[in-house]
Amino acid sequence: MPSRPFRLRDHLFAIVAIKLVALFAIWWTFVRDARVDVGTGDAASRLLSDPGTQESPQ
């Protein structure tokens, strides 16, 4: 009987490890090279603008 919780724990650990590897592979494939260039003027204008006048991203 004591071996059963260890087996369950090992299975859960393996599933979590496989999911982490899959997430890393997806990130490596699709997101790794994605870059957004933000200039200081763009950032300043965005931060200093009135929140009531910004467009909603629809």
Q: What is the pLDDT of residues 31-58, one digit of tens each?
A: 988 888 888 888 888 888 877 665 655 5
Mean pLDDT of the chain: 84
56: helix, coil or strand? coil
The predicted model scores a pTM of 0.54
The number of domains in the chain is 1
Is 53 a domain residue? no
In b/e form, how buried is each residue of 24-57, taking b as 16+ CB within 10 angstroms? eeeeeeeeeeeeeeeeeeeeeeeeeeeeeeeeee
28: helix, coil or strand? helix
Is 13 a domain residue? yes
Is 8 a domain residue? yes
Q: Which whole number is the average pLDDT over 25-29?
A: 95
| Phi, psi at 51, each rounded to 5° | -65, -25
pLDDT at residue 16 in the model:
98
Range of the domain at 13: 1-30
